[in-house]
Structure 1
């Protein structure tokens, strides 16, 4: 997964966060969003609240790569997972 190595190489001095994931890349939220948008061509595809202090975000690009980011109320965002072949699911029409 060369995309993972590209992201790791492009992040300026990644900070480690306490997490069960081996390596978590954290940046100020504005910097993280700019990198995902400008450098990787991703757009935010989905968001969800995780308690009062966190928002989970899924960012995707046109090739199907995806990045999951947790954004904290403190102004820091961290990449917690990434992968390939993102497929949006359309809910069935209830009618």
Structure 2
């Protein structure tokens, strides 16, 4: 089973809150975080706040290279946004006068 299909199957097995029943890629945050940690060994690497007040997080396993991006709504429901392989951490900054 491919990674996205495995995540989708896992989340379909989780109990969904009423507001997320039409979105099978969503579940309570604690359940999603536990699944990412237990099944893929992924831990949070970065986070930010989106314009809609959703917390966007990047989770990754540096050893296997798997990664997942999640969005958590103010209601506490977390949805999978994207996932993939070949994760690489970088620490880049703009050089003054180059790019914007």
TM-score, length-normalised on structure 2? 0.75
Which residue is equivalent to 2:98? none
Q: RMSD over aligned Cα, in angstroms?
A: 2.2
Which residue is equivalent to 2:29? 29
Which residue is equivalent to 1:53? 53
- Structure 1 residue runs of 5 or longer lacking an equivalent are 18-23
- Aligned counterparts of 1:16 and 1:63: Cα–Cα separation in 2: 32
Q: Which has the higher strand share?
A: 1
SS in 2 for 1:5: helix
- Aligned counterparts of 2:92 and 2:47: Cα–Cα separation in 1: 16
Count of residue pairs the alignment pairs up? 88
Which residue is equivalent to 1:70? 71
- Structure 2 residue runs of 5 or longer lacking an equivalent are 96-100
Q: Structure 1 residues 73, 63: CA separation in 2 closer, same or farther (over 3 Å shift)? A: same
Query: Which structure would you say has the larger Rg?
Result: 2
TM-score, length-normalised on structure 1? 0.78
Q: Which has the higher helix share?
A: 2
Conserved 8 A contact 2:26-2:78: yes
